Structure formats: C-alpha cells, structure tokens
Amino acid sequence: MNDLVQMTNQAAAQSDRWLFIASLVVCGVFAVGVMRYFVRQHERLIEDHKQARDSYQASLRGMVTEQSEANQKLIVCLDNNSRVMEECRDELRLARMERKKT
C-alpha cells in the first residue's frame, strides 16, 4: 500500500505531459483488455452457433429421412388400395352383369 502511495506522489510531482502519457498507456491497456475479452466472447459465440447449426442440420437430415421412409410406405399403401379398388370395381361389374342376366 505504501508503494502505491509513493508512486502516486511521484506521478503527482511530474509534469502534466507525463501524467497524460501515463493515462494514455493505462487507457490503452484497458482498451486492449476489453477488446481481447470481446474477441474471445465473439469466438465462443461463433463456435456455439456452429455447433447449433450442425445439430440442426443433423436433426433436419433425420427428419427428411423419416419423411422419405413414410412417403415410401404411403406409396405402397396407395398402390395396394388402388389394386383393391380395381378388384372391387371388377367384382361389382361382374355382379351387375349377373343381375342383368337373371
């Protein structure tokens, strides 16, 4: 604590020019520290964004795959339904023809 008081007294005894240069150095060091802090925060934010984007893309790929599989099942189901409907139509046609004959 005494060293700090002595340094302050020595700084006060100097001319204003030295005090101005010292304040510029202190402000410069503070500005560099703040900029480094924000650069690190920005890099972390970019990394988090990249991880979130990769996770989103992976889940989106999974959803597209599931939808594609579901579409294939629906196509098979529609084909089966179309075939059954054609068989029903043919059966109804035969039944109508038999009724007309009798």
One-letter amino acid identity for 58?
A
- What percentage of residues in the chain have a pLDDT greater than 90? 67
pLDDT digits (tens, 9 = 90+) for 28-65: 999 999 999 999 999 999 999 999 999 999 999 999 99
pLDDT digits (tens, 9 = 90+) for 87-100: 999 999 999 988 88
pLDDT in the model for residue 50: 97
Give the span between the Cα atoms of 43 and 34, in whole angstroms.
14
**Under 8 Å between Cβ of 69 and 61:** no
pLDDT in the model for residue 91: 92
pLDDT in the model for residue 37: 98
Long-range contacts of residues 75-80, Cβ cutoff 8 Å, at least 24 apart: none
